Amino acid sequence: MKIFTSTQIHELDKYTIDHEPVSSINLMERAAKAITHCIEAEWSNRTPIVVFAGPGNNGGDALAVARLLADDGYQVSAFLFNIHNKLSNDCALNKKRLIESKRIKQFTEVSVNFEPPTLTPDTVVVDGLFGSGLNKPLTGGFAAMVKYLNSSPAKVVSIDIPSGLICEDNTYNISANILKADLTLTLQQKKLSMLMADNQKYLGRLKVLDIRLSPEYIQNTDCRYRILEENDIRGIMQPRDDFAHKGSMGHALLIAGSYGMAGASILATKACLRAGAGKVTVHSPKRNYDIMQISVPEAIQQMDPEETLFSHPVDTEPYNALGIGPGLGSNETTAIALIAQIRRSTCPLVIDADAINILSSHRAWMQQLPKDIILTPHPKELDRLAGTTSSCCYERLMKASELAERLQAYILLKGHYSALCLPNGHIDFNSTGNSGMATAGSGDVLTGIITALLARGYDAPSACRIGMYLHGLAGDLAAKDLGKESLIAGDIINYLPKAFLRMED
Ligand SMILES: NC(=O)C1=CN([C@@H]2O[C@H](COP(=O)(O)OP(=O)(O)OC[C@H]3O[C@@H](n4cnc5c(N)ncnc54)[C@H](O)[C@@H]3O)[C@@H](O)[C@H]2O)[C@@H](O)CC1
Ligand SMILES: [K+]
Ligand 1, atom nearest to 12 Cα: 3
Residue 63 CB: number of other CB atoms within 10 A?
Answer: 30
CB of 446 closer than 6 A to ligand 1? no
Contact between residue 319 and residue 300 where contact means Cβ atoms under 8 Å apart: no
For ligand 1, atom 13: residue with the closest CA:
133
| Domain stops at, among 165, 190, 223 | 223
CB of 32 closer than 6 A to ligand 1? no
Tell which one of 18, 24, 57, 211 to mutate to probe ligand 1, the residue whose CB is within 8 A of the most ligand atoms.
Answer: 57
Residues 377 and 345 in one domain: yes
Ligand 1, atom nearest to 213 Cα: 3
Here the contacts of 291-295 (C-beta below 8 Å, separation 24 or greater) are: 291/262, 291/266, 292/257, 292/262, 292/265, 292/266, 295/262, 295/266, 295/270
Beta-strand pair 374-375/349-351: parallel
ipTM of this predicted complex? 0.97
For ligand 1, atom 21: residue with the closest CA:
56
C-alpha of residue 30 to centroid of ligand 1, in Å: 16
| Number of domains composing the chain | 2
At 388 the pLDDT is: 79
CB of 138 closer than 6 A to ligand 1? yes
CB of 159 closer than 6 A to ligand 1? yes
Q: Is 372 annotated as a binding residue?
A: no
Residues 217 and 254 in one domain: no
CB of 133 closer than 6 A to ligand 1? yes
Residues 155 and 251 in one domain: no
> Can you say how many angstroms the Cα of residue 308 is from the centroid of all Cα atoms in its chain?
38
**What would the 3-class secondary structure string for 95-163 be?**
HHHHHHHCCCCEEEEECCCCCCCCCCCCCEEEEECCCCCCCCCCCHHHHHHHHHHHCCCCEEEEECCCC
Q: Is 475 annotated as a binding residue?
A: no
Q: What is this structure's pTM?
A: 0.95
C-alpha of residue 271 to centroid of ligand 1, in Å: 47
| Domain stops at, among 203, 223, 243 | 223
Contact between residue 83 and residue 110 where contact means Cβ atoms under 8 Å apart: yes
Residue 294 CB: number of other CB atoms within 10 A?
Answer: 9
For ligand 1, atom 25: residue with the closest CA:
134
C-alpha of residue 75 to centroid of ligand 2, in Å: 21
Question: In terms of residue numbers, what domain contains 189?
Answer: 2-223
Ligand 1, atom nearest to 60 Cα: 43
C-alpha of residue 58 to centroid of ligand 2, in Å: 6
Residues 445 and 345 in one domain: yes
pLDDT tens, residue order, the chain (505 aa): 999 999 999 999 999 999 999 999 999 999 999 999 999 999 999 999 999 999 999 999 999 999 999 999 999 999 999 999 999 999 999 999 999 998 999 999 999 889 999 999 999 999 999 999 999 999 999 999 999 999 999 999 999 999 999 999 999 999 999 999 999 999 999 999 999 999 999 999 999 999 999 999 999 999 999 999 999 999 999 988 889 888 889 999 999 999 999 999 999 999 999 999 999 999 999 999 999 999 999 999 999 999 999 999 999 999 999 999 999 999 999 999 999 999 999 999 999 999 999 999 999 999 999 999 999 999 999 999 998 777 899 999 999 999 999 999 999 999 999 999 999 999 999 999 999 999 999 999 999 999 999 999 999 999 999 999 999 999 999 999 999 999 999 999 999 999 999 999 8
CATH number for the domain that contains residue 124? 3.40.50.10260
Beta strands in 146-304, from DSSP E residues, in sequence order: 155-159, 183-187, 205-209, 225-227, 251-255, 279-285, 300-304
Residue 428 backbone dihedrals phi, psi, to 5 degrees = -105, 125
CB of 136 closer than 6 A to ligand 1? yes
Residues 291 and 189 in one domain: no
Give the number of whichever ligand sits closest to the CA of residue 184. 2
Q: How far apart are CA 245 and CA 36, in angstroms?
A: 58
Q: How far apart are CA 275 and CA 218, in angstroms?
A: 34
Residues 138 and 66 in one domain: yes
C-alpha of residue 259 to centroid of ligand 1, in Å: 58
For ligand 1, atom 15: residue with the closest CA:
133
Q: Which residues contact 64 (CB under 8 A, 6 or more apart)?
A: 28, 29, 31, 32, 94, 97, 98
What is the sign of the dihedral through the CA atoms of 234, 236, 240 and 242?
positive
Residues 97 and 176 in one domain: yes
Residues 259 and 110 in one domain: no
Residues 208 and 266 in one domain: no
Residues 86 and 183 in one domain: yes
Residues 239 and 189 in one domain: no
At 399 the pLDDT is: 96
C-alpha of residue 165 to centroid of ligand 1, in Å: 12
CB of 376 closer than 6 A to ligand 1? no
Give the number of whichever ligand sits closest to the CA of residue 61. 1
CB of 167 closer than 6 A to ligand 1? no
CB of 13 closer than 6 A to ligand 1? yes
Residues 238 and 219 in one domain: no
Tell which one of 6, 187, 208 to mutate to probe ligand 1, the residue whose CB is within 8 A of the most ligand atoms.
Answer: 187
DSSP 8-state class, residue 343: H
Point out which residues pair with 154 in neighbouring strands. Answer: none
For ligand 1, atom 36: residue with the closest CA:
56
Ligand 1, atom nearest to 86 Cα: 37
Give the number of whichever ligand sits closest to the CA of residue 29. 1
Q: Is 434 annotated as a binding residue?
A: no
C-alpha of residue 117 to centroid of ligand 1, in Å: 24
At 246 the pLDDT is: 83
Ligand 1, atom nearest to 132 Cα: 39
CATH number for the domain that contains residue 253? 3.40.1190.20
| Domain stops at, among 181, 201, 223 | 223
Point out which residues pair with 226 in neighbouring strands. Answer: 2, 428
Q: Which residues contact 480 (CB under 8 A, 6 or more apart)?
A: none
Ligand 1, atom nearest to 128 Cα: 41
